[in-house]
Amino acid sequence: NAKPNLSIRPNSLVKCIELSDCSKCDQKQATGVRYIDAKGVERQLMARKEVILSAGVIGSPQVLLLSGIGPKEHLEEVGIKTKVDLKGVGSNLVDHPRVACKWESKLKGLNPMYLFSHVEGNLYAHSQLNEGPPDIQIQQDHVRTNEDLLLDPPVSTGFNLKPHCVRPYSSGTVRLRSSNAKDKPLIDPKYLSDERDLECLVEGIKICRKVVAESPFDSIRGAELKPGLDFSSDDQLRDWVRENVDTGYHPVGTCKMGSRLDPLSVVDPHLRVHGVDRLRVVDASIMPIIPNGNTQAATFMIAERASEMLLSEKW
């Protein structure tokens, strides 16, 4: 049944959040959203209470920047007037970098479980660099997939083990390509910019090889395809990781939650954007640090907590 308090505008593109001066709070306030609808017509929606931005780790900083909320020097570069100089918007992009180790399988035919999920299991491990919580997550795929999670080749007889660095030290940025909302943003994850992440993945490959060498794999283990036996020394593995590192699809942090004393924080503990009244960000972009595991459950928690906060404020 249709909900009277919900209206969905599919295939629409947000241009910016409308801001005005707040006479009561001595800062900017969000008053609505300007967007392009499915027919290409520019429209405006006015907010009676607040604007909730939930465009994701890439989209939320992009919308804030397009609205003039972000680092002044970058906004000037793309010709956008700075309304709130907030240096942390689009910074602190953190992800779980990973590589895919691949083996041929002695078993023939496609595992029917691929119809439900390509992931069969996860393993957590410690690298030699780490004494705290596990810093390596190894995902096992019961089919051999390519970087786009498609079968590789179309009828695959193999499996992957993918070590992820789940306590990364590297961080990147999201920046605007231009002032046009239709232009895709510039995403620079800066994977392996901290050498400790490189060493973590090298350790992860060694652990994958140890696992596959165990006797339970004897009946299914075929040839190692990637990295391959030509890559045996640490230096060779480092070179291979640099060429093959990929996203773990767990980006966070580009609208970091924190105190105003933190120069890179964007929202406060109630998810309100610093310097802007009636505007919150509710998605994985607010995570100040990345969980050392999958981010889906943590993102659900953020949404639930935001709902509690809004209800407690008598929405």
- The set of catalytic residues is 250
φ, ψ of residue 190 in degrees (nearest 5): 55, 45
Side-chain half-sphere CA neighbours of 135 within 13 A: 19
For residues 197 and 168, is the Cβ–Cβ distance under 8 A? Answer: yes
Partnered with residue 279 across adjacent β-strands are 51
Token pair 């410690």 is found at: 126
